[in-house]
């Protein structure tokens, strides 16, 4: 889970009037688990082995940070809502919900939701889970990410108010009120996040840090913890107390923590693994040919980009940043260099994101000759002479190296600029980026929730996530305006405009939208290719007779 920083602080003043006029809406969607198409025969043995990319940092939903831990979090715990295999929000523990006013939501919990120990899941479990997550004493890395969405969340994370002041209250055992700091139209999706899910208080209090260990962990999701051997495997078994167990086909899911992509593929080839986490660099075409029925690739809400240090003496001139961006042939990069099903990007927003339209640079459709001529003119105006050296920082990986060499070659052949590529450990790169100790740096971002604001964090003036150190107050004002409006069309228009405005400053260099190619055995059913968040809950999957 690559993530994002806090939103622009909400202003409560504008909300009162809006809340008076907002009609109370009721939302109720059908629950969807593994729907097996008619005519599909299921295998007798419903057991899946899937690689999770690395050992998870925790099973405590409040502390979950990585993609792998979030995958397990969604299998073990169920929030108020759930995102299904197509990325749509469906009911979870809450069977329905309604928005009373722009900042108040009421979630009605289903009566038959149970913990794995058979006890009822109540609204108090959500209050406890959310308060625990946001309490700075727990130091959850995501506290300051989701906290500001909720009423008093920002102050609680900052230690200015107690966790009990959080805008999440139990009206009764089966009714939960969630009050937000401003209009959060995507709140139902946000509440599907394991961080904001329920926690079984008695278990935490009884076992302390050991509450997540096998034998201790009490969870409410479609699966329960059976075994956990660190760095070896983590085994989940179907939760017999799960309210929707009839629609859960898998009886056992084994998560592997294999980091080496080549080992991952070999385990797949030998039949010891049904789903790889990724594919090794440069092997997509080969494996697509070798395993045509097993290769699955879908675009996700993520962007590969290069950060420009906007404070750098050379790059502080927008003309230089623009010239560097213009001459990169993204089509060539996607088709010939990475060659693994990724899509060129010419703006901040990836395809499929909610809350804003994709807007591309005007020159994206120009022929390359024209782009190069314009870029040269810009450099000349900025006084940058051919032979000028650029410094590029990246974390060591074959994939990053291929892309960096391509970019350096584009700048050299088209603009006459030389590039020193410095490869380093990931932690070192992170430190350099955060400290602004770089000129151009590899970067990437994958959304945590499907809304434009997750990408706007990268370029907002005071965002802790802005490693480019750019600032466009006008764009920030538009985002602030959008955060206060209850009119969704208006909000979308404002955020689209803000993204376009700030990207005209060329704070960063967008390159590709993430595609996620992986090998999935053809007998694994329920694997959707329209999953923008890459959330493949095991309850949506099943094993076809083979």
- Applying CB under 8 A, the residues found at the interface with other proteins are 2-6, 54-55, 57-60, 63, 65, 136-141, 143-145, 157-159, 209-210, 212-213, 229-233, 256-260, 262-263, 266-267, 269-272, 425-428, 430-432, 434, 464-465
Nearer to other proteins, 105 or 277 (CB): 277
Residue 197 Cβ vs other proteins, minimum distance, rounded to whole Å: 17
Report the C-alpha gap between 479 and 407 in whole angstroms. Answer: 32
Torsions phi, psi of 491, nearest 5? -60, -45
Nearer to other proteins, 37 or 271 (CB): 271
Nearer to other proteins, 267 or 478 (CB): 267
Residue 122 Cβ vs other proteins, minimum distance, rounded to whole Å: 25
Which of 266, 364, 366, 379 minimizes the C-alpha distance to 317?
Answer: 379
Nearer to other proteins, 41 or 139 (CB): 139
Residue 193 Cβ vs other proteins, minimum distance, rounded to whole Å: 14
Strand-pair partners of 227: 235
Nearer to other proteins, 137 or 546 (CB): 137
Contacts of 458 (CB under 8 A, 6+ apart): 4, 348, 445, 465, 466, 467, 468, 508
Alpha-carbon radius of gyration of the chain: 24
> How would DSSP label each residue in 145-168?
HHGGGBTTHHHHHTTSS-GGGSSE
Instruction: Please check whether residue 51 is in contact with residue 273, taking contact to mean a CB–CB distance below 8 angstroms.
Output: yes
Nearer to other proteins, 114 or 433 (CB): 433
Residue 103 Cβ vs other proteins, minimum distance, rounded to whole Å: 23
Nearer to other proteins, 331 or 425 (CB): 425
Query: Would you give the DSSP letter of residue 9?
Result: P
How wide is the angle at C-alpha 408 spanned by C-alphas 399 and 398, nearest 5°?
Answer: 15
Judged by DSSP in three states, 185 sits in coil
Nearer to other proteins, 465 or 531 (CB): 465
Residue 8 Cβ vs other proteins, minimum distance, rounded to whole Å: 15
Instruction: Please check whether residue 508 is in contact with residue 325, taking contact to mean a CB–CB distance below 8 angstroms.
Output: no
Nearer to other proteins, 20 or 230 (CB): 230
Alpha carbon 165 to its chain's center: 28
Residue 258 Cβ vs other proteins, minimum distance, rounded to whole Å: 5
| Cα separations in angstroms, 491 against 8, 9, 185, 353, 498 | 14, 16, 10, 14, 10
Instruction: Please check whether residue 456 is in contact with residue 4, taking contact to mean a CB–CB distance below 8 angstroms.
Output: no
Nearer to other proteins, 226 or 245 (CB): 226
Torsions phi, psi of 10, nearest 5? -75, 150
Residue 320 Cβ vs other proteins, minimum distance, rounded to whole Å: 27
Strands 252-256, 47-51: pairing is: parallel
Residue 277 Cβ vs other proteins, minimum distance, rounded to whole Å: 12
Nearer to other proteins, 464 or 488 (CB): 464
Strands 104-109, 94-101: pairing is: antiparallel
**Dihedral through CA 452, CA 453, CA 456, CA 457, nearest 10?**
-150
Residue 236 Cβ vs other proteins, minimum distance, rounded to whole Å: 16
Residue 470 Cβ vs other proteins, minimum distance, rounded to whole Å: 16
The tokens describing 509, both together, are 């260099």
Instruction: Please check whether residue 492 is in contact with residue 357, taking contact to mean a CB–CB distance below 8 angstroms.
Output: yes
Residue 391 Cβ vs other proteins, minimum distance, rounded to whole Å: 16
Is the CA virtual torsion 124, 129, 133, 135 positive or negative? positive
Residue 140 Cβ vs other proteins, minimum distance, rounded to whole Å: 7
Nearer to other proteins, 219 or 496 (CB): 219
Nearer to other proteins, 122 or 278 (CB): 278
Report the C-alpha gap between 67 and 196 in whole angstroms. Answer: 16
Using left for φ > 0, alpha for ψ between -120 and 50, and beta otherwise, residue 308 falls in beta
In what order do the strands lie in the sheet containing 47-51? 47-51, 252-256, 233-238, 223-229
Is the CA virtual torsion 377, 382, 388, 393 positive or negative? negative
Report the C-alpha gap between 111 and 29 in whole angstroms. Answer: 16
Report the C-alpha gap between 199 and 135 in whole angstroms. Answer: 14
Residue 36 Cβ vs other proteins, minimum distance, rounded to whole Å: 29
Nearer to other proteins, 34 or 456 (CB): 456
Residue 256 Cβ vs other proteins, minimum distance, rounded to whole Å: 7
**Residue 358, Cβ density class (10 Å: 0-12 exposed, 13-18 middle, ≥19 buried):** middle
């Amino acid at each position: 889970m690559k993530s994002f920083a806090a939103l622009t602080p909400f202003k409560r003043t504008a909300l009162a009037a809006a809340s008076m006029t907002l009609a109370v809406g009721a939302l109720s969607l059908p629950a969807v688990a593994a729907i097996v198409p008619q005519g599909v025969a299921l295998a007798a043995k419903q057991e899946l082995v899937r690689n999770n990319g690395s050992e998870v940092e925790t099973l405590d939903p409040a502390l979950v940070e990585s993609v792998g831990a979030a995958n397990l979090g969604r299998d073990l715990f169920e929030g108020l809502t759930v995102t299904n295999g197509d990325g749509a929000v469906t009911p979870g523990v809450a069977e329905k919900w309604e928005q009373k006013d722009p900042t108040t939501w009421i979630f009605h919990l289903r009566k038959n939701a149970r913990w794995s120990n058979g006890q009822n899941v109540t609204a108090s479990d959500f209050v406890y889970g959310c308060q625990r997550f946001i309490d700075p004493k727990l130091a959850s890395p995501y506290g300051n990410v989701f906290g500001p969405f909720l009423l008093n969340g920002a102050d609680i994370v900052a230690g200015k108010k107690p966790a009990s002041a959080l805008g999440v209250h139990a009206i009764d055992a089966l009714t939960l009120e969630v009050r937000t700091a401003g209009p959060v139209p995507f709140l139902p999706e946000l509440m599907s996040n394991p961080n904001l899910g329920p926690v079984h208080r008695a278990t935490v209090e009884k076992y302390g840090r050991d509450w997540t260990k096998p034998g201790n962990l009490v969870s409410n999701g479609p699966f329960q913890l059976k075994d956990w051997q660190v760095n070896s495997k983590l085994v989940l078994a179907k939760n017999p107390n799960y309210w929707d167990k009839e629609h859960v086909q898998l009886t056992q899911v084994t998560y592997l923590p294999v980091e080496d992509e080549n080992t991952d593929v070999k385990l797949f080839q030998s039949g010891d693994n049904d789903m790889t986490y990724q594919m090794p660099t440069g092997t997509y075409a080969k494996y697509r040919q070798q395993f045509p029925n097993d290769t699955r690739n879908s675009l996700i809400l993520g962007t590969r980009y290069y950060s420009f240090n906007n404070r750098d003496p050379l790059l502080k001139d927008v003309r230089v940043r623009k010239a560097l961006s213009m001459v990169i042939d993204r089509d060539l990069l996607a088709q010939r260099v990475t060659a693994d099903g990724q899509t060129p990007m010419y703006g901040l927003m990836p395809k499929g994101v909610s809350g804003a339209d994709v807007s591309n640079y005007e020159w994206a459709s120009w022929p390359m000759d024209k782009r190069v001529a314009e870029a040269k003119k810009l450099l000349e105006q900025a006084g940058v002479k051919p032979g000028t050296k650029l410094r590029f920082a990246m974390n060591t990986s074959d994939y990053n190296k291929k892309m960096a060499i391509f970019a350096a070659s584009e700048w050299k052949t088209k603009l006459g600029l030389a590039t020193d590529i410095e490869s380093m450990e990931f932690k070192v790169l992170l430190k350099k980026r955060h400290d602004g100790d770089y000129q151009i740096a590899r970067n990437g971002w994958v959304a945590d929730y499907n809304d434009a604001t997750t990408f706007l964090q990268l370029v907002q003036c005071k965002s802790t996530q802005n490693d480019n150190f750019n600032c466009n107050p006008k764009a920030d004002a538009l985002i602030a305006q959008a955060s206060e409006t209850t009119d969704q069309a208006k909000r979308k228009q404002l955020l689209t405009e803000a993204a376009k405005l700030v990207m005209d400053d060329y704070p960063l260099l967008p390159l590709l939208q993430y595609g996620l190619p992986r090998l999935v055995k053809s007998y694994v059913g329920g694997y959707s290719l329209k999953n923008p968040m890459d959330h493949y809950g095991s309850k949506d999957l099943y094993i076809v007779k083979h």
